Amino acid sequence: MAFAMTKVSYSGKIMEVTLGQGDKALKVGGENAYPFHNFEGSMPNKPVLAMEVWDMTPDDWPAACSEPFADVMGDPGAWAKKCVEQYGAEAIVLQLKSTDPNGLDAPPEKASEAVGKVLAAVSVPVVVWGSANPAKDAETLKKIAEDYQGKNLLLGPVAEDNHKAVGAAALAYKHSVIASSPIDVNLAKQLNILLGNLGVPMDKIVIDPTTGGLGYGMEYSYSVMERIRMAALVQDDDKLVLPLINNVGNEVWKSKEAKLSNEDAPELGDAAMRGVLMETTAAVSFLLAGSSILILRHPKTLALVKNLMAKLMAPRAAAAAKVKVDRPKAAQLAVAAAPKPAAAKPAAAAAPKPAAAPAAPAA
């Protein structure tokens, strides 16, 4: 009998969210089955592979990671352009590292200038990622939302503490938001409810479940993403049927293991590829958990993940689908063709025992 694939239909469907505007706008979401289960449902929009750009020159990157961008660091526009034109990034994520109150504490006006440089340099969708300080991000993202009205930027991370300020600005100036919660399904849902109550449409929200780069952190993130996807597809939870985003590069490359040199840790393998493989492993894991947007740092990671995704998204070969195998008949033929066991050889005759020595005469 022919093999028949078991198919499961789901009541939920991931909502489509549009990134950017114009001819280069991209849609994420829209699938009605688990990631890459093309045999069960449809996945109309492939996950977006974005590359990160900083608004300042990083001083703690390992050489393996900074070398591809050595000529453009310090210029967000040139950096973004190189990521798109040379490395093939599908979107750009501007990390506003300079605005961190515990660092340079750059003002919102300077951050807004960096956004303008990126928008002028590339036409792909742009994501603006703040410092993760709720108070400073509220101030900074409000300024950026106003300055670039109608550009449909994806602004974040939006937390419960600043959702009113950032959510209202995004709603007023026509942007989308990243709802960020600390690795918890219920907190993710609650934040989406709060943004919805504020008036932000569900098709303007992307979920950031918080990304762990390695080890337990990655496993926790993966598990929460699985639960969010299960609630969306199986239970059709209308507050969780949203695309997921993962800030992979930022989390992986800040780990100690990614920064150690060959001299410091020869047992960990070549430092030039170690971080790339760590980043690739995390990225693929999150793809399989349901990520719609991956934020990557190294161009080699981008190439590896893009190659794998092309294979996962490729349609099944038509010839393979038509092959029918009569399994019972095949089993019978296999048994008939099996060689007969060799006949057992007769046991060799036992050697005669030596005669017993005569008993000594009695005295």
DSSP 292: S
Number of domains into which the chain is organized: 1
- Band of pLDDT at residue 319, cut at 50, 70 and 90: very low
* Residue 5 covered by a domain: no
Token output for 212: 């762990």
Listed residue (234, 182, 173, 230) closest to 204, CA to CA: 173
* Residue 363 covered by a domain: no
- Band of pLDDT at residue 362, cut at 50, 70 and 90: low
Per-residue pLDDT reduced to its tens digit, 208-224: 999 998 888 999 999 99
* Residue 345 covered by a domain: no
- What CATH number is attached to the domain comprising 31? 3.20.20.20
**What pLDDT was estimated at residue 279?**
97
* Residue 230 covered by a domain: yes
Per-residue pLDDT reduced to its tens digit, 334-355: 556 555 656 556 656 555 666 6
Per-residue pLDDT reduced to its tens digit, 258-286: 999 999 999 999 988 999 999 999 999 99
Per-residue pLDDT reduced to its tens digit, 168-216: 999 999 999 999 999 999 999 999 999 999 999 999 999 999 999 888 8
- Mean pLDDT of the region 75-103: 98
Token output for 284: 């693929």
* Residue 250 covered by a domain: yes
Calpha distance 48→29 (Å, rounded): 10
Examine the pLDDT at 326 and tell me if it is beyond 70. Answer: no
Sequence-distant (≥ 6) Cβ neighbours of residue 314 within 8 angstroms: none
* Residue 329 covered by a domain: no
Least confident range from 129-143, 153-167, 316-330: namely: 316-330
Cα–Cα–Cα angle for 46, 47, 48, nearest 5°? 115
Domain coverage including residue 69: 17-310
* Residue 318 covered by a domain: no
Least confident range from 2-16, 105-119, 169-183, 335-349: namely: 335-349
Please give the model's pTM, rounded to 2 decimal places. Answer: 0.86
* Residue 182 covered by a domain: yes
Tokens 């950017």 correspond to what residue? 20
